[in-house]
């Protein structure tokens, strides 16, 4: 169990609310559903795990949902318990400080971005990595959250039960990272550690570069959509110009694909065009 301390406040058990609660409940729900499936329908459980786990060879053959779904699969009771407790404490602190959108973006960026980078690294075959290997777990998303916490609140002191010592957040996260690098060098599952470390990198970069309340996704989306519609309109206008020239009629459209009325260019005092 973790406790956080700075010079002005002490935080023990935070509020269980918001997006943090939703993520914790979602992870626990998936864990217990799969646990029950292993007893009631073992074949269905194996099929679900094979379809939802992260396998680089399948991701690059169109199974892109695995970039997210793997992060909701935890196979060990202790593993999911430790991860969800950490997510509760650290996630609540980040969400209350930076907002719901910021927190959700960094969580899923760590999960999906870490998975994608881990899949790419698996093709290098470093540390015996293989595109056919598989990994699961919320570690990449969790380490993205931890890295962001270390960037933003690095001087906050953390007490880790049962050790009677306190350590600053940035140093604790560095210790975790070094331990994972050591496990990787010692022959641990390469894809899992690639994904975890890449998730931490995503969290670090997001905390450094993202706006105060997170990226606004709707703005770029609508801008891209409008650009596409303008391109289609210009393309249709050029085709129509060619068609009308074949009919001995000369029509013109502007750069946005809008029709230019020739009468709008005439001198209002010029009556020559009238019958």
Q: What is the mean pLDDT of residues 135-160?
A: 90
Six-digit token string for 180: 């994972």
CB 135 within 8 A of CB 118: yes
Please give the share of the chain, as a percent, with pLDDT higher than 90: 57
Distances in Å between the alpha carbon of 181 and those of 41, 137, 176, 186?
37, 17, 9, 9
The residue ranges of DSSP E strands in the chain, in sequence order, are: 2-5, 10-11, 157-160, 166-168
pLDDT of 95:
93
Q: Please, which pLDDT band fits residue 275 given cuts at 50, 70 and 90?
A: very low
Q: What is the mean pLDDT of residues 81-88?
A: 92
Burial 146-160 (b: 16+ CB within 10 A, else e): bbbbbbebeebbbbe
Q: What is the mean pLDDT of residues 53-76?
A: 95
Q: What is the mean pLDDT of residues 254-260?
A: 67
| 100-114, 141-155, 166-180, 187-201, range with the lowest pLDDT | 166-180
| Position with higher pLDDT, 232 vs 131 | 131
CB 98 within 8 A of CB 159: no
Cis peptide before 109 (omega within 30 of 0): no
- Look-up of token digits 């599952």: 189
- Look-up of token digits 């729900």: 29
2-215: CATH topology:
Rhomboid-like fold (1.20.1540)
* SS3 at position 16: coil
Question: For residue range 107-143, what is the model confidence (pLDDT) as tens digits?
Answer: 999 999 999 999 999 999 999 999 999 999 999 999 9
pLDDT of 3:
47
Q: What is the mean pLDDT of residues 66-84?
A: 93
Q: Please, which pLDDT band fits residue 28 given cuts at 50, 70 and 90?
A: very high
Q: What is the mean pLDDT of residues 87-110?
A: 93
- Domain boundaries along the sequence of the chain: 2-215, 221-265
């Amino acid at each position: 169990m973790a406790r956080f301390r700075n010079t002005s406040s002490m935080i023990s058990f935070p509020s269980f609310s918001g997006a943090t609660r939703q993520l914790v409940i979602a992870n626990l729900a998936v864990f217990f559903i799969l646990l029950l499936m292993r007893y009631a329908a073992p074949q269905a459980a194996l099929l679900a795990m094979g379809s939802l786990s992260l396998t680089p060879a399948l991701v690059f053959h169109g199974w892109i949902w695995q970039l997210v779904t793997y992060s909701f699969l935890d196979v060990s009771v202790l593993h999911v318990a430790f991860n969800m407790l950490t997510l509760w404490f650290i996630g609540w602190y980040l969400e209350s400080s930076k907002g719901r959108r910021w927190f959700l973006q960094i969580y899923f960026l760590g999960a999906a971005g870490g998975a994608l980078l881990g899949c790419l690294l698996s093709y290098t075959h470093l540390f015996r990595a293989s595109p056919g290997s598989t990994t699961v777990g919320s570690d990449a998303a969790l380490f993205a959250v931890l890295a962001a916490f270390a960037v933003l609140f690095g001087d906050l002191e953390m007490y880790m039960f049962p050790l009677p010592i306190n350590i600053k957040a940035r140093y604790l996260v560095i210790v975790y990272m070094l331990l994972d690098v050591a496990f990787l060098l010692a022959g641990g599952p390469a894809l899992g550690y690639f994904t975890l470390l890449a998730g931490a990198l995503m969290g670090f970069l997001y905390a450094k570069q993202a706006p105060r309340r997170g990226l606004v996704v709707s703005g770029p989306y609508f801008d891209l959509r409008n650009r596409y519609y303008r391109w289609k309109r210009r393309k249709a206008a050029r085709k129509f110009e060619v068609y009308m020239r074949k009919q001995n009629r000369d029509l013109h459209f502007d750069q946005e694909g809008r029709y230019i009325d020739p009468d709008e260019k005439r001198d209002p005092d010029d009556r020559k065009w009238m019958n």
